[in-house]
C-alpha cells in the first residue's frame, strides 16, 4: 500500500513538473439575463426593452492560474463580482390570485472561485480554441436586498424577510480563445437560491444568480 501511495505521489509530481503553468489577471462583464429570459422574448412575456435593461449591470475582476497537460488543462480562479438586478415580484394567494406586488432590488457583491477543467479543441502555436466546465464556489461579500413600492395584498414591507446565503455552489461552462498572451472567455454561470425573500419563514421567491460572462485575461507568464 505504501509503495502504491509513493508511486502515485511521484507520478503526480512528475505530471506537475511537466505541466505548462500560466498565471494572469482578468476582468469581465456579467449580465443577470438568463436563458429563461431569452426564451420568453418570443412569447411576449419578456421583451427586448426588458432584456436590454439587464445587459449592463455587472463586473468582475481577479486572477487565474492555468496548468496545462497537452490539450487538457485545469484553471482555478479567484474573482470579485458585483452587479445589480431589479424586478417586480408578485405574491400569489392560495386560490392563485395575486395577493400583492413589490419591487425587489438585489445588489450582488461576492467572491467567486471557479475550478474549471478545459480541453483545447484547436491548439496552434499562437492561438487556441478551448471548451471548459466545472464547479464554482460563491461567497457573499456584502450582497443586499431592498424592497419598495409594495402594492395591495395583506402584508407590508416589514413582513418581507431578506435571506442572503453566506455561500453557495454552482456550475460554470463555456468556451474561450487564446491569442498570444490574451485570453478571451464566454461562459454561463448557474447558481440557484443565493438570494431569497420570505414571509413568516415561508420562502416566496428564489433568485437564480445565473449570469452570462464575457471576460478578457492577460497571462503575465
**Residue 44 maps to a domain:** yes
**Residue 87 maps to a domain:** yes
**Residue 8 maps to a domain:** no
| C-alpha angle 129-133-138 in degrees, rounded to nearest 5 | 130
User: Which pLDDT score is estimated for 94?
Assistant: 59
**Does the structure show a pLDDT above 80 at 104?**
no
Q: How many CB atoms sit inside 10 A of residue 207's CB?
A: 21
**Does the structure show a pLDDT above 90 at 215?**
yes
Could you tell me the pLDDT band of residue 102, with boundaries at 50, 70 and 90? Answer: confident
Reduced to 3 states (helix: H, G, I; strand: E, B; else coil), residue 79 is strand
- CATH for 124: 2.40.160.20
Residue-range definition of the domain harbouring residue 147: 20-219
Q: Which residues lie closer than 8 Å to 191 by C-beta, 6 or more apart?
A: 136, 138, 168, 169, 170, 171, 208, 209, 210
**Does the structure show a pLDDT above 90 at 81?**
yes
Domains: count for the chain: 1
**Does the structure show a pLDDT above 70 at 189?**
yes
**Does the structure show a pLDDT above 70 at 67?**
yes
**Residue 12 maps to a domain:** no
**Does the structure show a pLDDT above 60 at 63?**
yes
Q: How many residues does the chain have?
A: 221
> Mean per-residue pLDDT for 184-193?
89
**Does the structure show a pLDDT above 90 at 119?**
yes
**Residue 55 maps to a domain:** yes
In whole angstroms, what is the distance from residue 8 CA to residue 123 CA? Answer: 29
Q: Residue 10 phi/psi, 5° resolution? A: -65, -40
**Residue 115 maps to a domain:** yes
**For the segment 132-176, what is each residue's pLDDT rounded down to a tens digit?**
999 999 999 998 888 777 776 666 667 677 788 899 999 999 999
* 8 Å CB contact between 161 and 151: no
Q: Return the HEC string of 107-165.
A: EEEEEEEEEEEEEEEEECCCEEEEEEEEEEEEEECCCEEEEEEEECCCCCHHHEEEEEC
Q: Which residues lie closer than 8 Å to 129 by C-beta, 6 or more apart?
A: 120, 121, 122, 175, 176, 177
**Does the structure show a pLDDT above 70 at 127?**
yes
Bridge partners for 105 per DSSP = 86, 146
At 44, list the grid cell: 411576449
**For the segment 35-57, what is each residue's pLDDT rounded down to a tens digit?**
555 444 444 444 444 544 444 56
**Does the structure show a pLDDT above 90 at 9?**
no
Total-model pTM: 0.78
- What's the chain's average pLDDT? 78
User: Which pLDDT score is estimated for 194?
Assistant: 80
Q: Residue 161 phi/psi, 5° resolution? A: -105, 130
Bridge partners for 103 per DSSP = 88, 148
**Highest mean pLDDT out of 10-19, 83-92, 188-197:** 188-197
**Residue 81 maps to a domain:** yes
**Residue 57 maps to a domain:** yes
User: Which pLDDT score is estimated for 14?
Assistant: 45
Amino acid at each position: 500500500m505504501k509503495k502504491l501511495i509513493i508511486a502515485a505521489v511521484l507520478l503526480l509530481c512528475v505530471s506537475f513538473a511537466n505541466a505548462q503553468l500560466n498565471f494572469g489577471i482578468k476582468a469581465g462583464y456579467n449580465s443577470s439575463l438568463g436563458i429563461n429570459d431569452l426564451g420568453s422574448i418570443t412569447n411576449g412575456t419578456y421583451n427586448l426593452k426588458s432584456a436590454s435593461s439587464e445587459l449592463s449591470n455587472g463586473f468582475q475582476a481577479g486572477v487565474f492560474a492555468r496548468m496545462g497537460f497537452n490539450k487538457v488543462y485545469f484553471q482555478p480562479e479567484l474573482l470579485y463580482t458585483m452587479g445589480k438586478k431589479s424586478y417586480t415580484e408578485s405574491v400569489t394567494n392560495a386560490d392563485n390570485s395575486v395577493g400583492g406586488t413589490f419591487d425587489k432590488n438585489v445588489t450582488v457583491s461576492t467572491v467567486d472561485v471557479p475550478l474549471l477543467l478545459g480541453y483545447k479543441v484547436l491548439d496552434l502555436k499562437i492561438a487556441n480554441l478551448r471548451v471548459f466546465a466545472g464547479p464554482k464556489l460563491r461567497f457573499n461579500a456584502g450582497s443586499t436586498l431592498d424592497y419598495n413600492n409594495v402594492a395591495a395584498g395583506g402584508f407590508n414591507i416589514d413582513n418581507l424577510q431578506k435571506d442572503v446565503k453566506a455561500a453557495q455552489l454552482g456550475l460554470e461552462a463555456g468556451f474561450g480563445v487564446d491569442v498570444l498572451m490574451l485570453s478571451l472567455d464566454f461562459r454561463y454561470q448557474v447558481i440557484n437560491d443565493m438570494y431569497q425573500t420570505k414571509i413568516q419563514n415561508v420562502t416566496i421567491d428564489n433568485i437564480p444568480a445565473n449570469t452570462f460572462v464575457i471576460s478578457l485575461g492577460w497571462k503575465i507568464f
